[in-house]
Structure 1
Amino acid sequence: MNKPADFEAPLDGRDPSNLRGDPITGDRYYSHEFMQREWGMMWTRIWHIAGRTADIPEAGDFVVHDFMKESVIAVRQEDGSVRAFYNSCAHRGMRMVKGMSSVDAISCPYHGWRYGIDGKLIHAQDSDIDFPQGNPCGKLGLKELRCEIWGGFVWYTMAKEGPSLYEYLAPMPEVYKNYPMDTAVRVAWYRIALNANWKFVTDNFSESYHTRTAHPQVPPWIDQDVDTARHEMWPNGHGRTVQPMRPSLSDRLPADQPHPYKMILQAWGIDPEGYASYEEMAMQGWLDLKAAKQREWKERGYVHYEHMDDEEITDSPHTVIFPNVTISFLPDNLVFFRSEPHPEDPEKCYFDLWCMAFPVEGQEMVESVMAGPKPLREVAECEHRDFDNGKGIPELTGQIVFQDMELAEGMQAGMHSRGYTDAYLPAQETRVRFFHEVLNDWLEGRKP
């Protein structure tokens, strides 16, 4: 699986010689001081996602992203561009809007100041007669942030200077240029409160070593055996595990259980019983599936395959974008995960799950991968839930992401134990320590 690439060559994500060996100590997950260093040295300098471009299709449409104690408005402009502003009135700092909506002007609910969607102040009560320092209209406005778009996502940064979005994301825009990400439809949208530090999520998505234990339903259709996946990481902290979407040869379902991979083959006109052995069905069937998809995608309406290569139409590059965004790129789905810190408690976080599907002609229902079957349409609003030991999201019980969240509180508690001093990692978890080393670089002023 040595895929040729026209982007910066990655480091081997299974080679511990690429590491300094920085310890992963428990206090990183519960220290208030560490949390404040993350805010001052990293969160205020990286690029954040405010929402999807699909959230704000028309001029005046806006989406608000609240992050810790900050709040940002991303609003579509008359010329089609998107601009971002702090959600703070220039009068006395009042937060003005919430969620998503559409406006002709952004109005403060306290004293009625109004701003155009370009952020300029257009109305203030008594503006001509009661401001000794002069009429604020035409002089004041909302404070703007740098804002750019990639992958159908609206990004912003609080840093006045620094790398552009594409520089920050590199080489991911080039790596995933074949996926028409902006066409994906968000069919499930959750924000879940977890009793764990935000870093648990990035740690978890930086390795597949836990899959055999935590996700026994995965090996029958994604091969996560130690020697079959490709582990990649880049100096800026981004990384991915590229896994073949074929059965593991190590973990097998009982013969009397329906096999998900057989269903995948049958969906593309391939007879799984036509192979001489299980191994041949897994390995040759995977190659036959590539050929069938390349041959038949157009007539079947899988238009998102048009520029995708053999690996992309059958495999699963599970990708972490430093520090807190993970995207699973599947042939027919994008699954977006994000963890964000609680504004005050380092032992809590918010976990975002956005399930997206590429439209296929004639399909009305899709498999969201993480949230079960869903209608193929944009969901109107986010489901805000508390995990509450799983009771807060019963409809996700048994899903892969539910199984991950079940582990969060136990890991968080373990970070307080005197029995834990540092992680003892296999080679396939190299990216876990690498994430912490890049985080250390930010906190110590060596990044970006």
Structure 2
Amino acid sequence: MMDATTTMNGGDPTRLRGDPMSGERYWSREFADREWQCMWKKVWHIAGRENEVPETGDYLVHDFLHESVIVARQPDGSLRAFFNSCRHRGHRLTSQSSSIEAFTCPYHGWVFGIDGELRNVPDADNFPQGDPCGKLSLRETRCATWGGFVWYAMSDEAPSFEDFMGPVLHQYDSFPLESLVRVFQIKIDLNTNWKFAPENFSESYHTRTAHPQVPAFCDQDYWNARLEMFPEGHGRTIQPFRPSLRDSPEGSEPHVFDDVLRHWEIDPAHYRSFEEKVVEGWRDLAEAKRRLGPGRGSKHYARLSDSELTESIHSTIFPNVALTFGPDEVFLQRTEPHPHDPEKCTFDLWAMVFPVEGQTMTATAMVGTERLPIREAEPIRRSFDGGRGVHEMHGGVVIQDLMLAEGQQRGIRSQAYEDAYLAGQETRVRFFNEVLNDYLEGRR
């Protein structure tokens, strides 16, 4: 567990300076340029998953704004990251992840090894400076791995990966994250600023309005949630996987939670009231999952705490990554800014599951009702188009968030908008913006 002195109450606005969340930060080209110069080059980015680059010569390509980075598997098994720019005249060497013995520039045929070293150039004797082979190599930058994810930083001004991640580095050691299988991955073009998602995922105040189905299976009432924020800019919301008691059904009306209990061989009729069933039944679930889970193929259940077995743990990693942890699956959600228009971004959703012995198909509430094969999914690219462009996600929770994004962007451009009027449970929304301000103003 993290030292209490580094954990701040994410529901306590007295921990904030009170920086205003002015509208231009969501649409100004000048503000977006400052984000690039002062923040994006000083944080760590996810290039992909380690299981995408298992063999020597396998590589990932991650494009971000006008930059592009290659992360390649080396003969010694390590990963190295290079800027995707030929040292001759800057042409990009490759456009998509693949496997290769050497990178050949499509413009003039310069050849770089998987280690970034320049191996061959046409007419090597025609350079007044001398043969560039042995002198030049691709510009390298730092990379790291955590949780089966491949990360990189674009500048020496970024902190070490360990310092950047802070407490997140060891908060999820019980989960076998390297074993996750990404059963769904989509990149969606959205007409909104990239900050919509980090702010949205920093609060649950919107849940009852935007996600009316959620309180039946996840108690997101703020008085039952643990809200945390950390000096590095990261945060967590931890909520019980049980119904909200605000919605107690009349009499003996069946509830979806009954099916959850029965699945784990707990009789819902054992409890004298709905409240007892929710509170005591939820506690009983931890014991039942630990006792029955490994025998049902979920071997990793033996490693998880009661909280990890029965709570939704939603972690935001500054500035633009959200990871939601459950005992059976992990979701990644990420926005990245458009290269030219601050009122556009891309939104990534990865649904990842822990393999279960004997199980070949899975369902995930984040995607919809369709069952998916448990294997690495091919990437999908879609335009949101008012929800019409992402039919795969209809019926899921995420599309409900995305349906709000463009209306939020349009409304925040109004001359009537001056600053957000936040509830206490939205403290992390302003905290996110204050950490961003710290980067822009040179305090980080």
TM-score range, shorter chain: over 0.9
Residue 52 of structure 1 corresponds to 49
The partner residue of 1:126 within 108, 123, 126 is 123
Shift of 1:187: 0.4
Shift of 1:362: 1.2
Shift of 1:110: 1.3
Residue 376 of structure 1 corresponds to 374
The one-letter code sitting in structure 2 at the alignment partner of 1:362 is: G
Residue 277, structure 1, aligned to residue 277, structure 2: no
Output the CA distance in 2 between the equivalents of 1:248 and 1:205: 19
Q: Write out aligned runs for 1:18-57 (5 A).
A: 18-57=15-54
Residue 268 of structure 1 corresponds to 264
Shift of 1:419: 1.6
CA distances 1:237-270 after superposition (whole Å, capped 9, x unpaired): 1001100111111135688987432222222111
Output the CA distance in 2 between the equivalents of 1:90 and 1:18: 47
Residue 445 of structure 1 corresponds to 442
Q: Write out aligned runs for 1:346-357 (5 A).
A: 346-357=342-353
1:258/1:275 CA distance change after superposition, 3 Å: closer
Query: Greater CA deviation, 356-365 or 161-170?
Result: 161-170
The one-letter code sitting in structure 1 at the alignment partner of 2:171 is: V
Shift of 1:367: 2.1
Gaps of 5+ in 2: none
CA distances 1:157-214 after superposition (whole Å, capped 9, x unpaired): 1112442111100100111111111111000000000000000110100000000000
1:121/1:267 CA distance change after superposition, 3 Å: same
Q: Please say if residues 220 and 252 of structure 1, whose CA atoms lie closer than 8 Å, have aligned partners that are also in contact.
A: no
The one-letter code sitting in structure 2 at the alignment partner of 1:125 is: P
If each structure's helix is expressed as a fraction of its own residues, which one has the higher value?
2
CA distances 1:364-401 after superposition (whole Å, capped 9, x unpaired): 1112231133111111x310000010111012123110
Shift of 1:45: 1.1
Shift of 1:297: 2.6
Output the CA distance in 1 between the equivalents of 2:139 and 2:381: 29
1:183/1:255 CA distance change after superposition, 3 Å: farther
Residue 403 of structure 2 corresponds to 406
The one-letter code sitting in structure 1 at the alignment partner of 2:237 is: T
Output the CA distance in 2 between the equivalents of 1:15 and 1:71: 39
Residue 430 of structure 1 corresponds to 427
Residue 191 of structure 1 corresponds to 187
Residue 219, structure 1, aligned to residue 215, structure 2: yes
Identity %: 55
Shift of 1:226: 2.0
Q: Write out aligned runs for 1:360-399 (5 A).
A: 360-372=356-368, 373-379=371-377, 381-399=378-396
Output the CA distance in 2 between the equivalents of 1:86 and 1:267: 50
TM-score where L is the length of structure 1: 0.96
The one-letter code sitting in structure 1 at the alignment partner of 2:208 is: R
Q: Please say if residues 197 and 341 of structure 1, whose CA atoms lie closer than 8 Å, have aligned partners that are also in contact.
A: yes
Residue 228 of structure 1 corresponds to 224
Output the CA distance in 1 between the equivalents of 2:250 and 2:73: 53
Residue 415 of structure 1 corresponds to 412
The one-letter code sitting in structure 2 at the alignment partner of 1:18 is: R
- Considering only aligned residues, what root-mean-square deviation do their CA atoms show, in Å? 1.5
Question: How many residues are paired up?
Answer: 442
CA distances 1:58-85 after superposition (whole Å, capped 9, x unpaired): 1110110000010000111111111110
Residue 169 of structure 2 corresponds to 173
CA distances 1:317-350 after superposition (whole Å, capped 9, x unpaired): 1111000000001111100000000000000000
The one-letter code sitting in structure 2 at the alignment partner of 1:374 is: L
Residue 155, structure 1, aligned to residue 151, structure 2: yes
- Which 4+ stretches in 1 moved above 3 angstroms? 4-9, 252-260
Residue 331, structure 1, aligned to residue 327, structure 2: yes
Q: Please say if residues 7 and 174 of structure 1, whose CA atoms lie closer than 8 Å, have aligned partners that are also in contact.
A: no
The one-letter code sitting in structure 2 at the alignment partner of 1:427 is: G
1:21/1:40 CA distance change after superposition, 3 Å: same
Q: 1:227 aligns to what SS in structure 2?
A: helix
1:33/1:5 CA distance change after superposition, 3 Å: closer
Output the CA distance in 2 between the equivalents of 1:197 and 1:8: 33
Q: Please say if residues 339 and 350 of structure 1, whose CA atoms lie closer than 8 Å, have aligned partners that are also in contact.
A: yes
Q: Please say if residues 42 and 159 of structure 2, whose CA atoms lie closer than 8 Å, have aligned partners that are also in contact.
A: no
1:120/1:257 CA distance change after superposition, 3 Å: farther
TM-score where L is the length of structure 2: 0.97
